[in-house]
Structure 1
Amino acid sequence: MGIYEVGQAVSRLFLSSSYNVKIIGKENIPNEGGVILCCNHISNFDPPLLGAYITRKVHYMAKQELFEKPVLKGLLPKLGAFPVRRGMSDKQALRTALTLLKNGEMIGLFPEGTRSKNGQLGKGMAGAGFFALRSNATVVPCAIIGPYKRNTLILVYGKPIDFTDMKENKATAEDATELIMKEIKHLIETTN
């Protein structure tokens, strides 16, 4: 068992013992090939939750500053994280994500770019749409329905989004992100 699997097991143990976790739609995640999980962002626990209950490894962009801390510098890459410089277009982070997707890996994205302060779904940034249009990866919308309290915490993996028409019509990254956010909103509104 590698460090990632240990991290998954620890995350599952913590989350399941702290919250009444309900997972819906795991069957919507393809068993192979590039996958982009696009999820709303309400807590620091979202990345571990998104990957704790599924078998495939999830890679995440994490802020560059975390990789400058001695303990985290060696640990984060083993947990699937790679650095991104926030507040600017980080071409290296974009290339890393596209390469992972091309190699059949799975990445987790939070299109809002930051945690929601009030738990409401915010506006998505163009990055998620960029990856959806520039890769052949399957895009799976996800929704975390909280809050992280003792009551039920729900994670829904929705049905993959079809971007064929958008790619053929040369849609913008913003348009693609808008579709992703609409699907996430639908999951939040229709899941009980």
Structure 2
Amino acid sequence: MSIYQFGKRICLLFLSSSYKVEVIGRENIPEDGGVLLCCNHISNLDPPLLGSYLGRNVHYMAKKELFEKPILKWLLPKLHAFPIRRGMSDKQALRTAMTLLKNNEIVGLFPEGTRSKNGQLQKGLAGAGFFALRTNAAVIPSAIIGPYKFRGRLKLVYGEPIDFTELKEARGSAEEATSIIMAEIQNLINKHQ
């Protein structure tokens, strides 16, 4: 068993015993092909929650500073995380994500770029829209509806894939694509709150 699979089992055990997790829309995740999983960000526990309930592996961008800590530098790549420099264009991180999507992997992304301090959905960064327009990956909006309170209810919602055909044909911008993604995430939050 890989470290990723072992970590996933531990996370699933922890999450299932700590919270009453309701998973909605798991059938919206394609069984194969590239998938861009875009979700709101309210806690450090979001990445394990988003990926633990799926059969497929999920790769995440994580802030570069985490990879500077000795244990995490070794562990994070084994958990399918790769570094990104926040606040600037990081071409290496973009290339890594593009390659993963083209190789039919799932990339988990939090378009807000950082955790929301008040739990409200913040403006999304253009990176999510860039990947949506530059790859053929299925773009799945997702929502975590909390809060993370011990034994409290948590909803994890995977929405239906967003069709970007028209925006691609119109040569729309990454910002426009991100706005569509964020609107779909907000719709999921409104519908399932």
Would the TM-score normalized by the shorter structure come out above 0.5? yes
TM-score (norm: length of structure 1): 0.98
Residue 115 (structure 2) aligns with: 115
Residue 159 (structure 1) aligns with: 160
> Are residues 1:186 and 2:187 paired?
yes
Aligned-pair CA distance for 1:87: 1.2
Structure 2 Cα separation of the partners of residues 69 and 109 of structure 1:
22
> Are residues 1:18 and 2:34 paired?
no
SS in 2 for 1:144: strand
4+ runs deviating over 6 angstroms = none
Report the residue type matching 1:177 in the other structure. Answer: T
Residue 97 (structure 1) aligns with: 97
Structure 2 Cα separation of the partners of residues 85 and 122 of structure 1:
20
Report the residue type matching 1:64 in the other structure. Answer: K
* Equivalences for residues 64-79 of structure 1 within 5 A: 64-79=64-79
TM-score (norm: length of structure 2): 0.98
Q: Which runs of 5+ in 1 are unaligned?
A: none
SS in 1 for 2:180: helix
Matched-pair identity in % = 71
Structure 1 Cα separation of the partners of residues 5 and 121 of structure 2:
30
Residue 88 (structure 1) aligns with: 88
Structure 2 Cα separation of the partners of residues 74 and 15 of structure 1:
24
Report the residue type matching 2:12 in the other structure. Answer: R
SS in 1 for 2:118: coil
Q: Which runs of 5+ in 2 are unaligned?
A: none
Structure 2 Cα separation of the partners of residues 46 and 140 of structure 1:
16
Aligned residues: 192
SS in 1 for 2:166: helix
Structure 2 Cα separation of the partners of residues 64 and 120 of structure 1:
25
Structure 2 Cα separation of the partners of residues 74 and 164 of structure 1:
40
Aligned-pair CA distance for 1:73: 1.1
Residue 168 (structure 1) aligns with: 169
Structure 2 Cα separation of the partners of residues 73 and 45 of structure 1:
19
Deviation per CA, 1:52-99: give whole Å up to 9, x if none.
011111000111111111111111111000011111100000000000
Residue 29 (structure 2) aligns with: 29
